[in-house]
Chain A
Amino acid sequence: MEKKKLKNVFINGAISSEFIGESIAKHQTKTSIGAHNIFLGQVRADEIEGKTVSAIDYTAYEEMANLKFHEIREATFEKYDLTCMHIYHSLGTVNIGEICLFVFVSSPHRKVVFEALEYVVEAIKAEVPVFGKEIFEDQTHQWKQNT
């Protein structure tokens, strides 16, 4: 069986609202869709021991991450009746208030998109080798860890 070419999920820097808006607009031609659901991960200005996070610098084991994103996509399509699904994740520096993860699922009906979106986001958090260095305002850093 021919191996399907893996999509590249990664985008350099923050994911812009224009990009997200255009992604929504592209679905106007897919008229079997009746419901979209979107998750946007935003970088939070956490305060840790008196210091405030100003940005996260993302790195990844890209080959394995794209493989994992692919496996998550396949498992999600298997489990839920979706028309389409898109995942984008940032690499490099994303400032607080900016978007670092964009997950977009679409289906003929609403119920499935609520469940599917949560499933995809939780799987990404648990299974994909992406690493985040939280940069504080004083330029010191610590490594983020998903809980």
Chain B
Amino acid sequence: MELTIKYFGMLTEATEIDKESFTTEACSVSQLLKKLQSTYPKLQNVDFKVAVDQQLVTLDYIISNEAEVALLPPFAGG
């Protein structure tokens, strides 16, 4: 399946990109993160939450095809 992955804030310093298309077989958030962390080892050392299609999800959430997955570092609004 095809996913869009977005990175924000300090995470863009770990990945050096802010958006990418990602092809993978069906997987959970934690399985996807393992793959991303092997591509971008610096993601292992930073704190973030995961949103799928603009909603925060837990690690066991099963991602569906064409979803937009966002990795969100700590919020700093206001």
Contact = CB atoms under 8 A, between A and B. Distances in A.
Contacts of B77: 58, 60, 65, 89, 101, 124-125, 128-130, 132, 146
A133 interface: yes
B75 A125 contact: yes
Interface in B64-78: 70, 72-78
A37 to B, nearest CB: 16
Contact of B54 (A63, A126, A143): A63
B70 A64 contact: yes
Nearest to B12: A59
A41 B54 contact: no
A80 B72 CA distance: 30
Counting chain B residues whose Cβ lies within 8 A of the other chain, the interface size class is 10 to 19
Given A61-B70, A64-B54, A64-B70, A133 B75 contact: no
B54 A144 contact: no
A121 interface: yes
A60 to B, nearest CB: 8
B76 A132 contact: yes
Nearest to A147: B74
A33 interface: no
B72 A146 contact: no
Contacts of B8: 59-61, 129, 131
Contact of B75 (A63, A67, A101, A131): A131
B72 A61 contact: yes
A146 B51 contact: no
B6 A61 contact: yes
A129 B75 contact: yes
B62 interface: no
Interface in A107-147: 121, 124-133, 143-146
B29 interface: no
